[in-house]
Amino acid sequence: MSATQFDAIVVGSGISGGWAAKELTEKGLKVLVLERGKDIKHGQDYRGEHAPSWKIPFHGMPDREQNERDYFVQSSSYAFSEATRQYWNNDRLNPYVRSEEKPFDWFRSDVVGGRSLLWGRQVYRWSEQDFNANATDGHGIPWPVSYEEIAPWYSYVEKFIGVSGQAENLPQLPDSEFLPPMDYYEIEKTAKARINKKMPHIPMTIGRVAILTEEHNGRAPCHYCGPCQRGCSTGSYFSSQSSTLPAAQATGNLTLMPDQVVERLDHDASGTRITAVRTINTQTGERSIFSAKLFFLCASTLGSTQIMLNSTSEQHPNGLSNRSGALGKYLMDHLQMIHLGIMVDDVNSYYEGNRPNGLYIPRFRNLTGQDEDADFVRGFGIQAIPMRGDWQTTFNSKGFGADYKASLKKPNPMWIWALSAFSECLPQAQNQAYLHASKVDRFGIPQLATEFEWGANERALANDTGKQAAELFRAAGAVYYITNDESNMETGGGAIHEMGTARMGDDPTQSVLNKYNQAHEIDNLFVTDGSFMTSASCVNPSLTYMAFTARACDYAVKQLQAGHYG
């Protein structure tokens, strides 16, 4: 068993871990990043990036037998395929206990860079209304941070990652530091104009994405090659691999160790300071101990919670910094509801490439108090994605010979407009993650167990998304549409926006972390992945994780320099 000393240790190399590595190394600290996934190199190891179907196993068709055996959770993600399998967790080798009655799908990566290689890249700021929601309607504990406090950190992060978008001056969706926006398709211009005329209270803008539309920080603009989840060797979309980890490496202060499962954290005799991380090498089984002055958990919401729950001691019998009993509780995700409409306008207006973006309809329900026709609190935003059929949607049509083959190359006259609504999930104590009493994984670590179910508010929101989608389709001129309701709600975890199991708050009897993502009971432990979230808003959360991580690093280093961590 080896032991090594660093200034700071970061667990996880995804969106939050990459930012922690960058910030801490740039501030002069010697930093160790521990990643349980395997090592891959940016650009070199994106095997499916531009591969045609004949170079992918089974021509890209799923290996159903392997998926059912090894990827029974992961394979249900839209981003999972034979071209991306290498990035994903093997569910058989790395299991968790998924309740059959209250299931939660835990999507996990298995590579350096984590899910920053696989995410949807939609980035939206929270509004002041989002940060005030818990205090306003009484669901959950109040946030200890305001929009005014976090706004400068949003700007700081956006200027580095590069955010393409259009300023709209909407209070419910604050503007970012924008690169030029992507252009609309003609069908979107038509739909937007009609909706603006018939439903003027509905705002609509081009999606805000961490994808470059011009050269930025040495990264090339997007050339619309798609699909992005296969990897991006030009670094046109933000990932740890293309951006934060290279920045950390450039300082000379980074040590990156893949294939390292963190078993637990050790603390001193007082129980108020972490002293070391215990790891197991996934390839050799070698156990190691790494020491530092600062510790950042960025292993994903459920990953960090598992580590904290497993780090029990006499001083922390229920897990680290868990005097409140909140650790593992209040698991949240966004409820995603998909509605489909058929458009036949602008059939002669085509486009080139694969624009990795759609339109965004910001929240428009319950903005100024409770809407009279709303039987729910909070609201939802809608990501509107246009899809045009190609030969794959018409290959069963009748025909023969050259003329038939030529007809298959022509654009399909039908557009499918998918409205994907993301509804806010309220924090509920019964939605939780905990360590199973008897089941362990192949390393002897207790397996994480989850229990999750949508509440009455989420069901009401699901129904309202369908009603509003129907109105939007009619206003846009759809010739046919299909909407969903609470009878077709997806399993929790499906939005891959899990958060909330080590929430922050001012009151240590109700929360795990303080306003700086610092554990209430352990002064040198910070948790900056989705665990810290006290509510969910309805927008994609990754930008908020990044902003809070940068802020926490700034605070932690200043405390270290002041001599607070020994």
Tens digit of each residue's pLDDT (9 = 90 or more) over 448-478:
999 999 999 999 999 999 999 999 999 999 9
Strand residues in 243-334 grouped as ranges (E): 254-257, 260-267, 274-281, 287-291, 294-297
Q: What is the pLDDT, as a whole number, of residue 1?
A: 41
Give the type of residue at 407. Answer: S
Q: Coil, strand, or helix at residue 136? A: helix
Provide the CB-side half-sphere exposure for 322 (13 A, CA): 24
Spacing of C-alpha 530 from chain mean position: 8
Which amino acid would we find at residue 114? G
Query: pLDDT (tens digit, 9 = 90+) per residue, 258-312?
Result: 999 999 999 999 999 999 999 999 999 999 999 999 999 999 999 999 999 999 9
Nearest to 267 by CA among 315, 322, 324, 307: 315
Is the CATH number of domain 1-44+111-162+238-331+498-566 3.50.50.60?
yes
How far, in Å, CA of 114 to CA of 299, rounded? 9
State whether residue 238 is helix, strand or coil. Answer: coil
Task: Name the burial class of residue 17, with classes exposed (0-12), middle (13-18) and buried (19+) by CB atoms within 10 angstroms of its CB.
Answer: buried
In this prediction, residue 324 carries a pLDDT of 97
How many angstroms separate the most distant Cα atoms in the chain?
A: 81
Assigned token pair, 181: 């926006």
392: which 2 tokens? 């794959």
Which distant-in-sequence residues (6+ apart) come within 8 Å of 438 by Cβ? Answer: none
The contacts of residue 125 (CB under 8 Å, 6+ apart) are 147, 151, 154, 173, 174, 175, 176, 539, 543, 544
Kindly give the pairing relationship between strand 97-98 and strand 432-440. unpaired
Closest to 425 measured CA to CA, from 532, 503, 517, 497: 497
**Which residues in the chain land under pLDDT 50?**
1-2
Q: What's the burial of 70, exposed, middle or buried (CB within 10 Å: 0-12/13-18/19+)?
A: middle
pLDDT in tens, 353-385: 789 999 999 999 999 999 999 999 999 999 999
**Within 13 Å of residue 289, how many CA atoms lie on the same side as its CB?**
10
Distance from C-alpha of 532 to C-alpha of 535, rounded to nearest angstrom = 9
* Residue 547, pLDDT score: 98
Q: End-to-end distance of the chain based on CA atoms, in angstroms? A: 25
The residue among 175, 431, 445, 187 whose CA lies nearest residue 308 is 445
Q: How many CB atoms lie within 10 A of CB 52?
A: 8
Report d(CA 133, CA 128) in Å as an integer: 9
Q: Is 150 in contact with 548 (CB distance < 8 Å)?
A: yes
Q: Six-digit token pair at 127?
A: 């509004």
**Residue 371: predicted pLDDT:** 94
E-only strand ranges, 424-470: 432-440, 446-451
Report which DSSP code applies to 381. Answer: E
Is the preceding omega at residue 142 within 30 degrees of 0, hence cis? no
- pTM score above 0.85: yes
Q: Where exactly are the structural domains of the chain?
A: 1-44+111-162+238-331+498-566, 165-233+335-423+455-488
Residue 416 token pair: 């499918």
Q: Tokens for 465?
A: 């998304």
